[in-house]
Structure 1
């Protein structure tokens, strides 16, 4: 992705956690894991993060995992 708002999934997760976005407990746990785990994300995790970013009105720029 060329115009990435977030350079990695950690920053995308932190933006969602620190923002005023409505999140379920499960989504919060998922984002907390992404915030501390630099491992590359699975396809399912990439999709879920993209959905959460879209619902929050943030550009999906964390595809591909950590850098």
Structure 2
């Protein structure tokens, strides 16, 4: 999976998690709130993974002279 794909999926998971948290708070559903928080954290991790991949690619490009 590319760094861009990781970042996009991360953003989508963060957004979905935030929505679930909001609906859970509005309805008093603590399970939905917890599920939303977990999904948000998953999204943050996916975005970070994408950032690391992107950084590694930049380093590799500099080493090989592609930058």
**Same fold per superposition (TM over 0.5):** no
More helix as a share of residues: 2
Higher Rg of the two aligned structures:
2
TM-score normalised by the chain length of structure 2 = 0.35
Return the TM-score normalized by structure 1: 0.35
